[in-house]
Amino acid sequence: MAEMERSNSDSSMATNSLPSSNLQTPSSLKVPEMSPSILRLWRPQAQRNLRNQWSKLSSLRHDWLSSSSAGRSHATSLVNSYLSHRYMDSMDLGVLSDMPNIRNKACHKLAKQLELHTSQLLSSYKAMVAVVIGMMNLSRSMRCFLKTTSGNPLIQFSSCSEDSNDTGDGGGVPVFTFLPVPAFEGLGEELVEMFKLELILKRFLVVEMLSISCQKIEQFSQLSWADELYDGEADDLSICHLYSEEVAEPLLRKINGWKSGTCSMESDKQPSHEVLQVYLTTWLAEVNIHTHRVEE
């Protein structure tokens, strides 16, 4: 995404990559509602606010990468423990096969490992949900409003609107070169949408991983797509607009730009090694996030 610190010439070049619906030419700009003197004070404040919000978005993106990497590591460990447990009876233990109850003891230890990796995977997923919520809040905080201060001669600005007539975008005037606040909001929405789609795909992978571990962990019951993976998940996904109140379950998984012909969410109770490898590869690929677009 466009960086706030770029020079005016760089910002002008960035306009070529933006959707036309997010840009406003000087001839189409609305007449500023602020007086010229207030507008001169508003623009630096608006620029500072945009820099701050995009800096925070960049920080959250790094948090996502960290949580996603940790999640894949935990998912890989979970798959390895599951496969070892699943094929323990046919595994050649060599001289260890003469030890009493060696297979039962190994299965018990693997079940404990599955329980640990399951908890760690859920923690990583929960952290990614928190990242998307944070991104959504930041994408909605890019406007700069005039603050009402009775009896105070100083003009102050706020991120919250105190006047219904104040749009917070300076009447549509450019903040950086030819880009007004709505253009940056459009970029923020585009970024958030990528991570929302990837989050719901990650949830599908988490459900699949937890479903196989549930078979080996006695205190865990079989999961379905509609189940909450942690307390309060439905509320968190609702904030992200990823939860359907109509059917009381998260929205179906989706890959950006691809239409699926099936709505089935039934998990494979005995996935093959190849299927599990596809799950791990899909987690790593992050197919819904256009890396080059994000780093522009």
With a pLDDT cut of 70, the percent of the chain lying above it is 75
Going by their DSSP bridges, the two strands 156-158 and 243-244 should be labelled as unpaired
Residue 79 lies in a domain: yes
Residue 10 lies in a domain: no
Angle between helices 181-214 and 273-285 (to 10 degrees): 160
- In this structure, the number of other CB atoms found within 10 A of the CB of residue 275 comes to 12
Q: Which domain holds residue 232?
A: 32-294
What is the pLDDT, as a whole number, of residue 267? Answer: 59
Residue 114 lies in a domain: yes
Going by C-alpha positions, the residue among 135, 132, 154, 113 that lies closest to residue 236 is 132
Taking only the tens place, the pLDDT of each residue in 7-16 is 344 443 333 4
What is the pLDDT, as a whole number, of residue 221? Answer: 57
Residue 163 lies in a domain: yes
Which amino acid would we find at residue 245? Answer: E
Q: How many domains does the chain have?
A: 1
What is the pLDDT, as a whole number, of residue 30? Answer: 43
Residue 264 lies in a domain: yes
Residue 59 lies in a domain: yes
The DSSP bridge partners found for residue 158 are: 145
What is the pLDDT, as a whole number, of residue 34? Answer: 67
Taking only the tens place, the pLDDT of each residue in 227-276 is 999 999 999 999 999 998 888 889 876 666 655 444 445 555 678 899 99
Alpha carbon distance, N-terminus to C-terminus of the chain? 4
